[in-house]
Amino acid sequence: MVQGPARDDLVERPALRERLDAALSLPLTIVVAQAGAGKTVLLRQWAAAHPDLAVVWIDVEAADDDPARFAHRLASGLAGVRPQVVDAAPRVPTHAGGLGASLLASLVEVLARLPETVIVLDDLHHLSNGELLADLGRLAAAIPSNAHIVLSTRVDPPIAWSGLRLRDRLLEIRQSDLAMTAPESSELLARVARRAIRPATLEALVERTEGWAAGLQLAGLTLRFHPDSDAFVAEFGGTDRLIAEYLTEEVLDALPDSGRELLLRMSLLDTLTTDLVDDVLERSDSRQLFDRLEQESMFFTAVDARREQFRFHHLFRDLLRYRLRADDPAEAARLLGRAADHHLDRGEIAPAVEYLLQAQDWERALDAIMARGSDVFERGEARTVIRWITTVPEAARRGRLDVELELGILTGMQGDAAAAAAILGRVAGDQRATAGQRTIAHAWTSATAQWNPRPDETIRAADRAIALLESDPGMEIPDLMRLTSRALLETLSVGSAGRSRFLAGDLAGADAWLMRALATDGIAYPPFRVGALGSIALLRAWCGRLAEARLLAGEAIAIAASSGLLTHPIIADARLAEALAACERGSPDAAEAPLRDGAVRAESNRRTQLEWIALALHAAIAPASGRFDEALELVDLTGQSEREPASAPAPLIRDRLIADHMALLRRTGRSEEALRLRGDAPPTTADLAFETAAASLHLGNREPARRILGGSAHLFAAERPRGDIQRAMLLAWLAELAGAHRTALGLISAALDLAEPDGLAEVFVGGGDVVLDLVEELSAARGGLAEAILARRQRIEPSPADANDGLPEPLTDRELEILAYLPDHSTSGELAMRCYVSVNTLKTHMAHIYRKLGVSGRSAAIARARELGLIPPVSRVERARA
């Protein structure tokens, strides 16, 4: 920034401020201009002119490329507007590279509940994270009318805003707009130079700077010290970059040697405080120094309201640094080292690392990085530490296996399971690696279970880590981020073995391993306990043990709340378990909030397997609002849905998604298509077994269903009680088709008994009309769960309009009217009279109906129409009458 708004040498620009007022009726305003054009000054003056407006101001820094840091700063700013609204909203990014769709949706909800608010992102050009920038564009496109985003940047960011521009929803202020007018330029020059300047000289200088505010200010500073203003102006010219370089050198050269040296040395410090400057530069008058620099307009400005932290204008600072490093690189390195020491002495590792990296003091930088603790994991700051490590040249860290281990661990935390496994695998196979380092490598490879579509790989890694721990009780294990003690590695490996077995479909084995993890010593570490409880809850909900799942998830969330982990990705399992339990109980509305939160947590570091589970839950909720097409798109693994996670689903999740796809096809009258989707391979889960048999029964083919039931008893038993309920429903369906109605009722009654303790309703809704009709017949006597199932049925029946639109050639309104009368057994003459048409016309309509439904007669047309949901299913009363 050129100047702070409270300074007496600033020039008011009412015309530009008035133009900026249009930002209050638009979602996005962008101010694009080169360094020193006065962007920040203008925006601060404009904000000051609207004291009743809530302004969230963020000075963007390069470190904000880390989505966790950026999201935290944005949430903190919004909390200053209305804390009680923001406190309930997610504060972590929903994708390792950016904010993610779920968090963006939450931000939109939060903004809608705030008073009129402007978010100013100043110096946006410091962001290079393309995904984060793209998400800012998405936020602007969806932002509510009471909120506005203002971006200040040197270059156009890669944000897709053409849609906003076409709809006249974007305000753009560019370099030409920011160029100071002749009166404004003259006023600024006069104030900065603090001397009388001839009108001709002012005019020439204004013309040559073309209203560039920084150039004018630098020129004014030079004129303050230059003995001959006319000679200076005569020599003044060149491109903006050369002007800045020339003027800065002229200003520096006009200063006393001590003053110039002081500025050069101070420029190495990113954020200047009195303690830091006094310590690094070995002086005791920094407070007075800061005041003098501000008074002398040395591009020095406060960055906080309390005026405790300051910085140089970026352009001025960068040129000062360049000159110091060129003139005295040894002194630059020495000062950077002292700055690092200052922060290390205070336990402030992050700024210390940044200074050591600038000094290229690689060994000390690595030592400082390795001093970071578990806060990296708990606060979601892995991206920052990865950047630090990878800034160090590979040659400088080649001999540091501890650094490579930490890089592998952090890479895994960020969701890049393949890269993490490769890094950790290299350490495990390195001849220099100790047994302790190999144990860490295997344990943290196993921890990528929820990112890896191949659970067999993470099971092997867990087995190797556990074997090493058991073989050498006295093994020396390095301490990395305080996350690699023997106790924590055991808990991590055992818990990861359980998660891997769950994803592989070994539900009983998964339960046993996860319970074993709860008995290990390392489970006292809150994030591990929250994760283990959430994983067990998700497993139990998957099998239909909803009461247990809800208790376990509740315990996990309570621990997370008391440990500050409610925004951590580790809570995703518990939240998804809550959502799954609500879905299985037939309460999709109750599932939406935990599902949204669970998806945010899973997306924040790309836990792709949990993302797949979230997607499946979204597909389960969609039919409740009649969105069958959306549900089909979500579960279609052959499609290219934008909502699909980056990697493939693990076996158990893949099988559930296929089963869900089959169920949707069957329930919309496409059972043959469902069977083709399934193929000839024997089912591997209870869901696949159920859907394969159900599709066959829907087509009237009882023998294939009997074979599946006979060969899949172990699959249903593995998912009790849900699997037992599915098996009982299939047996009841078979009995009903065979005419054994009482037997069918008895089997459904037994299934309801199994479902009653956990409130499992959705499994019956997915059974189809035969099962639901049997439930309806029992409902008067049973009430409770049976009535809840029937109420749920009413909410998700496909509407005739949706079903008709799905036909290759939809029926006309007259054809739909005639179709609705067909089940009444009326004759052709009676139908013609009802519809006020001749018998011949009626027969023509009937021929069209048969052709469009792909049938050859009236009975087949009625059956097909019921399959498609074009007419209601046969009721229990109609069946009894028949």
What residue spans define the domains of the chain?
14-178, 182-254, 399-524, 529-624, 651-796, 800-881
Task: Name the nearest CA neighbour of 478 among 436, 431, 423.
Answer: 436
The span from the CA of 69 to the CA of 364, in Å, is 24
Do the beta carbons of residue 119 and residue 149 sit within 8 Å? yes
The span from the CA of 149 to the CA of 118, in Å, is 6
Task: Please list the residues that pair with 54 across neighbouring strands.
Answer: 117
The span from the CA of 100 to the CA of 98, in Å, is 6
∠ CA(657), CA(772), CA(718), 5° rounding?
A: 45
Note the CATH number of domain 399-524.
1.25.40.10
Q: What is the 3-state secondary structure (H, E, C) of 533-598?
A: HHHHHHHHHHHCCHHHHHHHHHHHHHHHHHHCCCCCHHHHHHHHHHHHHHHHCCCHHHHHHHHHHH
The span from the CA of 826 to the CA of 813, in Å, is 19
DSSP, collapsed to helix, strand or coil, labels residue 122 as: strand
Fold held by 14-178:
Rossmann fold (3.40.50)
pLDDT at 4 (0 to 100): 37
Quickly tell me which residue has 């869900």 as its tokens. Answer: 660
The span from the CA of 355 to the CA of 341, in Å, is 9
Task: Name the nearest CA neighbour of 769 among 860, 697, 701.
Answer: 697
Q: How many CB atoms lie within 10 A of CB 634?
A: 24
Tens digit of each residue's pLDDT (9 = 90 or more) over 792-848: 877 665 555 556 766 888 888 778 878 877 876 678 887 777 776 777 788 888 888
DSSP, collapsed to helix, strand or coil, labels residue 644 as: coil
Quote the DSSP letter at residue 523.
G
Q: How many CB atoms lie within 10 A of CB 701?
A: 15
Q: Which helix (H) or strand (E) holds 196?
A: none
The span from the CA of 724 to the CA of 718, in Å, is 9
pLDDT at 876 (0 to 100): 42
Give the CA-trace dihedral at 88, 124, 61, 246, to 10 degrees. Answer: -160
Is beta strand 28-32 parallel, antiparallel or unpaired with respect to 147-153?
parallel
pLDDT at 750 (0 to 100): 95
Q: In Å, how far are 110, 696, 720, 763 from 543, measured between CA atoms?
A: 35, 24, 6, 11
Do the beta carbons of residue 41 and residue 178 sit within 8 Å? no
Give the CA-trace dihedral at 640, 645, 649, 655, to 10 degrees. Answer: -60
Classify residue 299 as left (phi > 0), alpha (psi -120 to 50) or beta: left
The span from the CA of 635 to the CA of 638, in Å, is 9
The span from the CA of 11 to the CA of 45, in Å, is 10
Task: Name the nearest CA neighbour of 533 among 521, 506, 551.
Answer: 551
Q: Please tell me if the domain spanning 399-524 has the same topology as the one spanning 651-796.
A: yes
pLDDT at 719 (0 to 100): 94
Do the beta carbons of residue 342 and residue 335 sit within 8 Å? no
Do the beta carbons of residue 540 and residue 522 sit within 8 Å? no
pLDDT average per 10 residues of sequence, the chain (882 residues): 43 87 91 80 90 91 86 86 65 66 83 91 88 87 91 82 77 84 82 79 75 76 73 56 54 74 92 94 91 73 83 76 88 95 93 95 94 80 90 92 95 90 95 96 96 95 97 94 95 98 96 97 96 98 97 97 92 97 92 93 91 92 71 73 74 93 85 87 93 92 93 94 96 93 95 95 90 90 86 65 72 80 77 74 86 84 78 51 42
DSSP, collapsed to helix, strand or coil, labels residue 348 as: coil
DSSP string, 64-104: GGSHHHHHHHHHHHHHTT-HHHHTTS--S-SSSSS--HHHH
The CATH architecture that domain 651-796 belongs to is Alpha Horseshoe (1.25)
Q: Which helix (H) or strand (E) holds 816?
A: helix 813-821
The span from the CA of 108 to the CA of 298, in Å, is 40
Q: Does CATH number 1.10.287.90 belong to domain 800-881?
A: no
Q: Which two tokens stand for residue 784?
A: 């409770």
The span from the CA of 99 to the CA of 65, in Å, is 11
pLDDT at 3 (0 to 100): 36
Counting Cβ atoms within 10 Å, is residue 427 exposed (0-12), middle (13-18) or buried (19+)?
Answer: buried
Q: Which two tokens stand for residue 570?
A: 């580790």
Give the CA-trace dihedral at 828, 834, 835, 836, to 10 degrees. Answer: 100
SS3 content of the chain, % helix, strand, coil (to 5): 70, 5, 30
DSSP, collapsed to helix, strand or coil, labels residue 371 as: coil
Tens digit of each residue's pLDDT (9 = 90 or more) over 271-287: 999 999 999 999 999 99
pLDDT at 642 (0 to 100): 54
Q: What is the 3-state secondary structure (H, E, C) of 654-692?
A: HHHHHHHHHHHHHHCCCHHHHHHHHCCCCCCCHHHHHHH
Counting Cβ atoms within 10 Å, is residue 736 exposed (0-12), middle (13-18) or buried (19+)?
Answer: buried
The span from the CA of 254 to the CA of 237, in Å, is 19
Q: How many CB atoms lie within 10 A of CB 190?
A: 17
∠ CA(300), CA(301), CA(302), 5° rounding?
A: 140
Do the beta carbons of residue 50 and residue 79 sit within 8 Å? no
Task: Name the nearest CA neighbour of 283 among 267, 266, 270, 296.
Answer: 266
Classify residue 170 as left (phi > 0), alpha (psi -120 to 50) or beta: beta
The contacts of residue 382 (CB under 8 Å, 6+ apart) are 68, 376, 410, 411, 413, 414, 605
Residue spans of beta strands (DSSP E) within 116-196 = 117-122, 147-153, 170-174
pLDDT at 6 (0 to 100): 40
